[in-house]
């Protein structure tokens, strides 16, 4: 009957179906039989058009790889014998896919109108709305969306699926400003945003992703802390949970941004407190213990609104950026992340000649250093941190010609710019943050020195101010120091990394004045006996002022520059040019395998 070709088994296995008989016409690619190997079924197809000459195996036979299982006479086949392949409709939803789609849909806001209505009643958004606002449109992929609370021993499965979607935490990967981040949010509509067993496991997974992929983490932290009601766990106390350790280990490796609206207590507050920056809405209440823990400790009964309101947490430094609502919080988070994502190509700035008049000619007249900062740096680029804490020190991120910088400035409107314990802590911690992520620092100096007196020493000033010395001396990022007016004593040195020669450039505006201590104090101490010998009060005061004026002439910026204690006295309008020159000259920050600093101090 002519040439025959063997159809062979593609692998070792057992024949589980034979679909053709001898004499049957077949076409190339048509299935002749099925073989099972390692519990998987595989088709054995004809390799030619023609007729089946022989079927060499039966159902149940075991064959080896390449063994002949049928023979085919190649040849023409009739139209009736052709097997017409019907293309699958890409829009068709199979039952298995339909089940998965349905499970995902149960957790979406559209399927939970009652939960959404409760959020609206509070004037707040849902967790998914916040995440969607944060990330670039279409960029978010969620991890663990069909997870449920580990309470199967006490609640029906259908109830858990409907009421505990994602175990109260939405998290995954997305992009912000076009750059990848880990975005996470506790879901207050699920068991009050508490931290459940699966919820912790999801955090572990996402924190590990942030570590391995070097991604910033943005975390919405609203919620009540640990959850006592989970039953499907192996342990007793949950103290072996790794989420807090994993998150804390990210400090100094990737930017950590915490956002809070509403109640944030216990474990949720611990996560928030580990973040580099805390952004909180006006209706936030933040505390390491909520009402239940306080009452359980026998410390009284309190309404949650009494615990850690913003009036407390702004002034004490817990909150870095205070905003009106969640939309503003997200906008601040995007701006903050931008400083860690590199330079921008487009920028504008104010007329720099206006800076010539920013400092009053009267050396005792106050001014607003915030106006100087906003005028000096790129328009709308300044984001201040901890504005309501450590009032004598200003810490902010900004840009110069699109390049991100950290700004550390004395505030002469508070204690004349003297550095107290809170200001020193605020400044030192900010320097750590900039150094950890290789962001250059610009310091604006106007300080009479360290704050003095019996009361301030009760705040451990010696240690706190020395912290600013130790931190500033050990940062390695480019630094430019600009003396706006007063540059006196130890306080001025701490603003410059320890010396006028420590920054990569130390310059002064014409209003700059320098001394080992404040001029008035130097005269009163150095010439105490001479002044005391003058009996007439008016003459004594006149002599005192003459001495001060002479010391000012010695200590004014132009004279100090002539002795080369600073690099130059400049036209204030030239300040940006100096900063840009240093930033351009600095080599690019190295690509790091690990951390530059072990961690960033939370305080």
**pLDDT value at position 542?**
85
564: burial class by Cβ within 10 Å (0-12, 13-18, 19+)?
A: exposed
Q: Residue 1: pLDDT above 70?
A: no
In the chain, pLDDT over 90 holds for what percent of residues? 83
* Contact present, 63 and 100 (Cβ < 8 Å): no
The rounded distance, in Å, linking the Cα atoms of 497 and 468 is 8
Q: Residue 16: pLDDT above 80?
A: yes
Question: Taking residues 74-94, what's their average pLDDT?
Answer: 76
Kindly state the tokens that stand for 46.
Answer: 């004809």
**pLDDT value at position 196?**
87
pLDDT digits 0-9 by tens, 32-72 = 999 999 999 999 999 999 999 999 999 999 999 999 999 99
- The helix or strand, by DSSP H or E, that contains position 36, with its residue range, turns out to be strand 31-37
**pLDDT value at position 232?**
82
Task: Say which CATH architecture domain 5-81 belongs to.
Answer: Beta Barrel (2.40)
Kindly state the tokens that stand for 289.
Answer: 């213990």
The rounded distance, in Å, linking the Cα atoms of 68 and 65 is 9
Please give the angle made by the CA atoms of 130, 114 and 272, to the nearest 5 degrees.
35
- pTM of the entire structure? 0.89
Mean pLDDT for all residues in the chain: 94
pLDDT digits 0-9 by tens, 363-390 = 989 999 999 999 999 999 999 999 999 9
Kindly state the tokens that stand for 335.
Answer: 């701006």
**pLDDT value at position 86?**
62
pLDDT digits 0-9 by tens, 268-315 = 999 999 999 999 999 999 999 998 888 888 999 999 999 999 999 999
Reported as half-sphere exposure (CB side, CA atoms, 13 A), residue 183 has a value of 26
**pLDDT value at position 479?**
98
pLDDT digits 0-9 by tens, 466-503 = 999 999 999 999 999 999 999 999 999 999 999 999 99
Question: Taking residues 326-336, what's their average pLDDT?
Answer: 98
Task: Match domain 352-512+556-585 to its CATH number in 3.40.980.10, 3.40.50.1370, 3.40.1440.10, 3.90.226.10.
Answer: 3.90.226.10
**pLDDT value at position 296?**
87
Top-tier CATH class for 95-339: alpha beta
Going by C-alpha positions, the residue among 66, 22, 74 that lies closest to residue 48 is 74
The rounded distance, in Å, linking the Cα atoms of 193 and 168 is 6
Choose between 347 and 86: higher pLDDT.
Answer: 347
Q: Residue 84: pLDDT above 60?
A: no
Q: Residue 89: pLDDT above 80?
A: yes
Q: Residue 87: pLDDT above 80?
A: no
* Contact present, 271 and 297 (Cβ < 8 Å): no
Q: Determine how many CB atoms are found less than 10 A away from the CB of residue 591.
A: 6
The rounded distance, in Å, linking the Cα atoms of 456 and 570 is 35
Q: Residue 85: pLDDT above 70?
A: no
């Amino acid at each position: 009957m002519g040439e025959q070709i063997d159809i062979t088994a593609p692998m070792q296995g057992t024949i589980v179906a034979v679909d053709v008989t001898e004499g049957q016409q077949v076409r190339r690619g048509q299935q002749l039989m099925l073989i099972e190997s390692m519990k998987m079924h595989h088709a054995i197809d004809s390799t030619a058009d023609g007729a089946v000459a022989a079927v060499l195996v039966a159902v149940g036979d075991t064959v080896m790889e390449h063994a002949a299982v049928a023979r085919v006479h190649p040849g023409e086949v009739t139209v009736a014998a052709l097997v017409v392949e019907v293309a699958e409709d890409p829009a068709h939803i199979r039952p298995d896919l339909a089940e998965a789609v349905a499970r995902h849909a149960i957790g979406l806001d559209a399927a939970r109108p009652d939960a959404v209505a409760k959020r609206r009643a509070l004037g707040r958004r849902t967790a998914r709305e916040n995440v969607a606002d944060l990330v670039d449109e279409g960029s978010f992929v969620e991890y663990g969306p069909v997870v449920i609370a580990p309470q199967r021993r006490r609640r029906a499965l259908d109830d858990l699926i409907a009421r505990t979607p994602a175990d109260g935490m939405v998290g995954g990967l997305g992009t912000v400003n076009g750059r990848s981040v880990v975005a996470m949010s506790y879901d207050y509509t699920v068991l009050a945003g508490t931290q459940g067993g699966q919820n912790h496991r999801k955090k572990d997974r996402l924190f590990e992703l942030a570590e391995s992929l070097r991604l910033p983490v943005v975390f919405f932290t609203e919620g009540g802390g640990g959850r006592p009601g989970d039953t499907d766990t192996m342990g007793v106390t949950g103290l072996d949970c790794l989420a807090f350790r994993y998150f804390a280990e990210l400090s100094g490796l990737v930017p950590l941004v915490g956002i809070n609206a509403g109640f944030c207590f216990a474990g949720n507050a611990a996560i928030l407190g580990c973040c580099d920056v805390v952004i909180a809405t006006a209706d936030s209440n933040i505390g390491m213990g909520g009402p239940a823990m306080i009452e359980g400790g026998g410390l009284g009964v309190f309404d949650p609104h009494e615990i850690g309101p913003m009036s407390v947490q702004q002034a004490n430094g817990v909150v870095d950026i205070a905003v009106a609502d969640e939309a503003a919080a997200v906008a601040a988070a995007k701006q903050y992340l931008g400083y860690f994502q590199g330079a921008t190509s487009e920028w504008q700035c104010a007329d720099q000649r206006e800076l010539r008049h920013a400092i009053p000619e009267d050396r005792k007249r106050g001014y607003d250093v915030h106006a100087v900062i906003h005028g000096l740096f790129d328009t709308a680029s300044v984001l201040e941190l901890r504005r309501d804490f450590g009032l004598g020190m200003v810490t902010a991120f900004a840009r110069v010609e699109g390049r991100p910088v950290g700004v550390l400035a004395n505030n002469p409107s508070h204690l004349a710019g003297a550095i107290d314990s809170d200001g020193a802590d605020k400044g030192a911690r900010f320097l750590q943050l900039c150094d950890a992520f290789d962001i250059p620092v610009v310091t604006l100096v106007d300080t009479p020195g360290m704050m003095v007196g019996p009361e301030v020493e009760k705040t451990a000033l010696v240690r706190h101010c020395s912290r600013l010395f130790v931190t500033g001396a050990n940062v390695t990022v480019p630094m430019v120091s600009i003396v706006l007016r007063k540059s006196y004593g130890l306080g001025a040195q701490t603003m410059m990394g320890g010396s006028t020669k420590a920054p990569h450039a130390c310059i002064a505006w014409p209003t700059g004045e320098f001394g080992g201590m404040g001029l008035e104090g130097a005269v009163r101490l150095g010439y105490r006996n001479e002044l005391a010998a003058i009996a007439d009060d008016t003459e004594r005061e006149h002599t005192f002022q003459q001495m001060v004026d002479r010391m000012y002439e010695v200590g004014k910026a132009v004279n100090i520059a002539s002795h080369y204690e600073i690099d130059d006295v400049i036209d204030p309008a030239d300040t940006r040019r100096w900063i840009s020159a240093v930033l351009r000259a600095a080599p690019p920050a190295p690509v790091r395998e690990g951390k530059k600093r072990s961690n960033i101090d939370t305080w």
